[in-house]
Structure 1
Amino acid sequence: MKTESSSNNYVGAVLRGIGDDPDRIVIHQADGRTVRAAELIDLIHRTAHVLRDRGVRRGSTVSIMSGNRVEVLTIRYATNLLGARSVSLYEGMSAETLAVIAADVETDILVTDKVDALPKVKDVLTFGPSTAGADLLALVEQAPSTPIPVEPVRADEIWSVRHTGGTTGHPKGILRAFGTYAARWSDAANPAEPPVFLACTTLAHVAGTETDRALGQGGSVVLHPRFDPVKALADIERHRVTDSALMPPLLYQLTDQMLREPVDTSSLRNVAYGGCASSPDRIAQAVAVFGAVFTQVYGQLEAGFISALSPEDHLRYELLGTAGRALPGVEIRILAEDGSEVKQGESGEICVRTPSASAGYLNNPELSAQVWRDGLVHTGDVGFLDEEAYLHINGRVRDMVIVLGGHVYPTEVEDVLLSHPAVAAAAVFGVRDADSMEQVEAALVLRPGATIDLDAVRSLVTTHMGAQYAPSGITVLDAIPLTDVGKPDKQLLRASWRAGISGGQPVAG
């Protein structure tokens, strides 16, 4: 019988990190309001009382859909404190997708500020008065603040179901165990100076887990409703932010804004980036602007963190196209289609054994068996290890574009496009023509005031990579559309192409 323990429940570490100094500011909000330690702990326990009174127990599921707000944190902490599991949903999720996910996870309570087209669930709580459900804010205000002990749980019990971003298909629910998540604090040493984390992307993704880490380490959080490079830089300077986490496209925007209107960012210690391919040239530019404060992190919800490129590594330009080296406790193997291990320097599927791997896909044993097998997580990414054990990623197996003459990995083409001095951002994707043959398409964003010869861009790709890699069509946009988690939305780009918005031909943004 597996042992139940409160040490398996990460909420205890968060509460200890918030600490017993009642007046310490733990959350700075974008509008200037602050939340102090005693107030945050009080809100967590009041919310837990509300949820418990509405039947939330171990085995219950509370789904949360809202933008970045303090209550999103307190609801999740209260849910997990009770031993129940939380589901963080993306604010921009369609009603159809929301309904499917809410049913899949067997939602007991949905907490939301979206009151139209709600899915059928047992109970709904809203942020403020609404005919759709009970007012959570009013209930919390009336609830007692008596501390509720952290619920002991087994290490293999699920604290969260997180869904993939959906860039390669319908979102899949990924099971995350209490014990694995709690180990993040027991295995990591606290920094000498507590972190000040800027959370400026959705709390339903990496910003949420990094907020947990910052609070658990006795630090504080600067909470923004969404990413805005001007406001992000202003608050880095104002609050002496030490840490943040961004997708590469957002990091590029931050760098561009810093070049336009520089501020004091000397407090930065670690800005993590990852989640999609990055451009070595753009990352080198960011290092030149902010200093060697970046850590590229490669990982997946399925596998957890796999490898990292350290701040020191960022001083070597030739490493900026890599995903760094394996993290402690991680084994990386590069396998051929038949499951055999390839030679060093040869490409194959990246398969890993990690201490932070998730427990599988929700209600999908067949797909789970495909991804988690032989003690390894099969990432679906293609890459190789070089002679220094740095991992190079060519792209995803299912993001590969099959053209006449061979296989095209979009990330490789994006790197070449981003080397053009006029190009600020690029997204490469595959589409099928009238004959069902795949072709390479590209969407570009230009630097302010820049012009570009699209034929010359194709020639650039052809010169560096070969004719089969050159985009058949290039669309110039004002901005690359992003998913809710900040990745280039290639599904939307494909849909736009199919709808004839670009028609596979160059258009001006």
Structure 2
Amino acid sequence: MYLTQGLHRSLQATPNATATIFKDRKRTFAEHGERIARLAGALQGLGVHAGDRVAILSMNSDRYAEYLLAVPWAGAAVNPVNIRWSPAEVAYSLNDSDTHVLLIDDPFVPMAPILLEKAPGLSILIHCGDGATPEGMLSYEDLVAGSDPVGDAYRSGDDLAGVYYTGGTTGFPKGVMLSHTNFMASGLGTIATGELLKVGSILLHAAPMFHLADLAAWCGATILGGTHLMVPFFEPTSVFKAIAEHRPTDVLLVPTMIQILVDHPDSNNYDLSSMARMLYGGSSISEGVLNRTKARLPGMRMTQAYGQTEAAPVITLLLPDDHEGNRMRSGGRAAPHCQVAILDLDGNEVRTGDVGEVCAKGANVMQGYWNNPEQSAQALRGGWLHTGDLGYLDDEGFVYVVDRLKDMIITAGENVYSAEVENALSKHPAVASSAVIGVPDDYYGERVHAVVVLAPGHRATAEELQIFCKELIAGYKVPRSFEFPEALPMSGAGKILKRSLRERYAAAQG
């Protein structure tokens, strides 16, 4: 299996169909394929060899979609950079992965001098924006126009296809090595459910394309010969306008994005009826947001994906018909391409209903961490990918993820899973979003602490929220202290950075 497989099929079967839509640009598969073959030729002409890493620091665009195929076409591996990272973090990933070529978009051009200073191995910058090409950089469009097309290198199977750096929510970023088989297994297994993407689908890329969740959706659409519709970044009005004008059928979003869209005051001013399927994941979704989404888009089929970068990324899927009752709190069952087990600290399977570490195996599981054999062996011990998540299986195979191992709070000897507390808080009408962490406490050891963002126009006190939560969860789980900031710190993938909240609390306490 190889990433360019779907493109070859589309070039043969539907060369005149629309491959990409971005702003006022539409390109057919014939045009898309020609530009990819020329960009691959340009990369080879710049000295890119088989297995080399080629990075991109860019907003979503049609050029991003070309990059994702041109790099493997040239025989190299993609290295998409988190657009929210600082220059030091970007430089770290480039140095760690030994990347010499970087495609860079207009918003990040000011970062270039710092990257060249901090990443001495970076020797070639390709400007892939719509503005004038800065001095010292190569023009993406000039390279495409001036290079001869080359044949596909047909890298496949266990060949390295990408190095994806983890978001760093639980530690220093690690480069996850993913093969062509890893990507294709996850993509094929996901669409095999029949609930995600169809032949003729138009996939809206509103989530960042640097993130592996979006690449998984991109991979599925590419396999099926679908159209890719891009907006530069997630912004509610841009998303609404793109849906109304181009009528996409599928989208991938994280729960925070879903909440912003369904609660937006202009949501009802746009025709969103083309949306047939939504894949969501990246973090847990509250029942309140899920119910509001169903009310706003009653005809849309919603599927939740649970996974991580190391699994390319899909492990389980909660299909639309399973969004009912208690199952709505689960991450679904093992995806068609993946096997799931709940293991104890000794690597033994626990009994049904008991909490342990969620583990997975399948053709989608990573090759390991770049230049990190010790952590690779730890993550893949016993032939299983150890996710670092706590969860349990019910007697029908549904996986319930209760928390990250590091996010479990032990207060007065009792285990508290923050996801359960956050779900209770989400049901209060004044709560827009929340994050629950454990903080040091002289009496309890750890105290349940809630960081709550209130909905616009609403007010709530700590005492009011405590009384509300006591109606839903046990008393020892109810937060004993609260903060009410204007926003929660988020990663580039849309996840709440609980580590930042802990550090901020510690700093405030001196």
What residue is the counterpart of 2:466 in the other structure? Answer: 458
Shift of 1:168: 1.0
Question: Do 1:306 and 1:354's aligned partners in 2 also have CA atoms closer than 8 Å?
Answer: no
Structure-2 separation of matches of 1:22 and 1:192: 18
Counterpart code for 1:26: A
What residue is the counterpart of 1:3 in the other structure? Answer: none
Structure 2 counterpart of 1:67, from 53, 59, 72: 59
Q: Please, what is the CA RMSD of the aligned residues?
A: 2.5
Q: Mapping of 1:475-490 within 5 angstroms? A: 475-490=483-498
Question: Do 1:334 and 1:348's aligned partners in 2 also have CA atoms closer than 8 Å?
Answer: yes
Shift of 1:416: 0.8
Shift of 1:492: 3.2
Q: Mapping of 1:141-156 within 5 angstroms? A: 141-144=145-148, 146=149, 148-156=150-158
1:116 correspondence with 2:113: yes
Structure-2 separation of matches of 1:332 and 1:139: 45
Structure-1 separation of matches of 2:76 and 2:295: 45
What residue is the counterpart of 1:323 in the other structure? Answer: 331
Shift of 1:300: 1.4
Question: Do 2:76 and 2:161's aligned partners in 1 also have CA atoms closer than 8 Å?
Answer: yes
Question: Do 1:298 and 1:323's aligned partners in 2 also have CA atoms closer than 8 Å?
Answer: yes
Question: Do 1:431 and 1:438's aligned partners in 2 also have CA atoms closer than 8 Å?
Answer: yes
Question: Do 1:14 and 1:212's aligned partners in 2 also have CA atoms closer than 8 Å?
Answer: no
Structure-1 separation of matches of 2:30 and 2:265: 36
What residue is the counterpart of 1:410 in the other structure? Answer: 418
Counterpart code for 1:268: M
Shift of 1:372: 0.6
Q: TM-score, normalised by structure 1?
A: 0.89
For residues 86-131 of structure 1, what are the alpha-carbon distances to aligned partners after superposition, in whole Å with 9 as ceiling and x for unaligned? 1111112122222221122111212223323112224222315224
What residue is the counterpart of 2:160 in the other structure? Answer: 158
Structure 2 counterpart of 1:138, from 142, 161, 169: 142
What residue is the counterpart of 2:355 in the other structure? Answer: 347
Shift of 1:154: 4.9
Shift of 1:137: 3.2
For residues 461-503 of structure 1, what are the alpha-carbon distances to aligned partners after superposition, in whole Å with 9 as ceiling and x for unaligned? 3443334433343222333332111111223333433443xx6
1:14 correspondence with 2:14: no
Question: Do 2:207 and 2:253's aligned partners in 1 also have CA atoms closer than 8 Å?
Answer: yes
Question: Do 2:462 and 2:481's aligned partners in 1 also have CA atoms closer than 8 Å?
Answer: no
Q: Mapping of 1:324-403 within 5 angstroms? A: 324-403=332-411
1:241 correspondence with 2:243: no
Counterpart code for 2:436: V
Structure-1 separation of matches of 2:226 and 2:282: 25
For residues 257-299 of structure 1, what are the alpha-carbon distances to aligned partners after superposition, in whole Å with 9 as ceiling and x for unaligned? 2785253333222201111111123212212221251000111
Secondary structure of 2:336 counterpart: coil
Q: Mapping of 1:31-42 within 5 angstroms? A: 31-42=23-34
Counterpart code for 2:240: L
Q: Mapping of 1:96-115 within 5 angstroms? A: 96-113=88-105, 114=108, 115=112
Shift of 1:395: 0.4
Structure 2 counterpart of 1:179, from 165, 178, 181: 181
Moved more, 415-424 or 325-334: 325-334
Question: Do 2:58 and 2:104's aligned partners in 1 also have CA atoms closer than 8 Å?
Answer: yes
Question: Do 2:184 and 2:219's aligned partners in 1 also have CA atoms closer than 8 Å?
Answer: no
Secondary structure of 1:287 counterpart: helix
Secondary structure of 1:415 counterpart: helix
- Number of residues of Structure 1 aligned to a counterpart in Structure 2: 491
Q: Mapping of 1:289-328 within 5 angstroms? A: 289-291=296-298, 292-303=300-311, 304-314=313-323, 316-328=324-336
> Structure 1's 123 and 436: CA in aligned 2 closer, same or farther, altered over 3 A?
farther
What residue is the counterpart of 1:199 in the other structure? Answer: 205
Q: 5+ unaligned residues in a row in structure 2: which ranges?
A: none
> Structure 1's 280 and 451: CA in aligned 2 closer, same or farther, altered over 3 A?
same
Shift of 1:405: 2.8
Give the percent of matched residue pairs that are identical in Structure 1 and Structure 2: 31
Question: Do 1:9 and 1:151's aligned partners in 2 also have CA atoms closer than 8 Å?
Answer: no
Shift of 1:326: 1.6
Structure 2 counterpart of 1:263, from 258, 266, 270: 270
Structure 2 counterpart of 1:129, from 115, 133, 140: 133
